[in-house]
Structure 1
Amino acid sequence: MKISIGNDHAGPDYKKAIVTFLEQKGYQIFNHGTDTFDSVDYPDFGHPVAIDVETKKADFGIVICGSGNGIAMSANKHQGIRAALCWTKEIAALARQHNDANVISIPARYTSIQQAVDMVDTFLNTAFEGGRHATRVDKISCN
């Protein structure tokens, strides 16, 4: 599986732990995140992840910023992207099951690194349920 990841200055340690975890599982990673804590602009890292998922270069995306909101908003500007802000494994599972989310957004300032790794694991290993949820997901797009 191919995963695209991007983060701002709030998430270098999170990204490192997540990438290590995913590489140990054999995933291919496209890294668009910063490796420093110097202030940067989250859209510069969220848009490349969204493009990778949008163009099918990556199967899923992971974005990380302080609150998880700004980078999710940036990713969600792209057609076909459903970036879900998640703060627990349960929310991550529901984002996949009910919303067919293809990008998980992690709030680095409000979750631990271990929580983030666990959420990513849950997100990537949970299937979309379809059914009544498919109709709802179809209505998300403005096409």
Structure 2
Amino acid sequence: MNVGTDLLAPFMPPGKRIHQAEDETATIIWSCEVSVDGKDVFRIGRESWEPGWSTRRFALRHAYVQPEHEATDKSYVYSDKGAVATVRCTEKGGDRDLFLVVKAGENTAGEEAMEKFVIAYREEFLKSDPCADER
């Protein structure tokens, strides 16, 4: 996803070496872990899940994100340490929904930075026709 580095930078602690590792498994469609000097500091993941789950419920039960705030339209929840956003594929004829999970390490940038990141990431993700594989 083409999300500006300015949105990710607040989560990066000082260091000399940044490493990015991507993974795809059966239960997690995709994930990317970012580490600085060997320490994991940021993770983004996408998970396909059965319909009917609210963003808040998924965040608590499966993403282990403790949301402190929720968008008015309930499309995302967030705190200073993590966020979950929902993409409703079932509304477009799919049989599963997608959940975008973002987690920050100990050097968190705060709630405002997390909200900006998850909003931008979700908007960029929606441009890619994400539900095509769920139909």
Does the pair score TM above 0.5?
no
Q: TM-score, normalised by structure 1?
A: 0.29
Q: TM-score, normalised by structure 2?
A: 0.30
Larger Rg: 2
**Greater share of residues in helix:** 1
**Greater share of residues in strand:** 2
